[in-house]
C-alpha cells in the first residue's frame, strides 16, 4: 500500500472490501481525489460522510474507517462530472490527514 493516499468522501454510498461499485462524482473535492490517482497506483481511500448535506467536507465531517479502493475505470461526462468504477480492496483507518490542493490525503 502507498505511504500516502487520496481520500474520496462519499455522501450516499458505502463501499466494502471485495465489492465493486460505480459512483457518480460531481464535487470538486471528489474529482480532485480521483484525478490525483489516475497516473499513479489508482488507489483511493473511500470514506463516508457523517452528514450528507455537507457540500465541502473537512476532516471532522468524515467517518474514521473506510475502504481502500482501486479505480478500475473513469469516464468524464460532457457536463464535467465523472462516472467511476471502483473495487474495494481492504478496510483502512483515516489518520494523519491533510488537505492539499483541494484534495484530502492521509497516511
| pLDDT at residue 58 greater than cutoff 70 | yes
How many C-beta atoms surround the C-beta of residue 60 within 10 A? Answer: 7
d(CA 80, CA 95): 30
d(CA 69, CA 15): 8
pLDDT class of 43 with cuts at 50, 70, 90: very high
pLDDT at 55: 85
User: What value does the mean pLDDT of the chain take?
Assistant: 92
| pLDDT at residue 9 greater than cutoff 70 | yes
Amino acid at each position: 500500500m502507498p505511504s500516502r493516499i487520496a481520500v474520496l468522501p462519499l455522501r450516499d454510498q458505502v463501499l466494502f472490501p471485495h465489492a465493486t461499485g460505480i459512483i457518480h462524482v460531481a464535487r470538486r473535492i471528489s474529482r480532485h481525489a480521483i484525478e490525483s490517482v489516475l497516473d499513479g497506483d489508482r488507489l483511493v481511500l473511500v470514506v463516508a460522510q457523517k452528514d450528507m448535506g455537507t457540500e465541502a467536507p473537512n476532516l471532522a465531517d468524515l467517518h474514521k474507517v473506510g475502504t481502500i479502493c482501486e479505480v478500475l475505470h473513469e469516464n468524464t461526462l460532457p457536463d464535467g462530472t465523472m462516472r467511476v468504477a471502483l473495487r474495494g480492496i481492504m478496510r483502512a483507518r483515516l489518520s494523519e490527514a491533510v488537505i492539499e490542493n483541494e484534495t484530502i490525503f492521509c497516511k
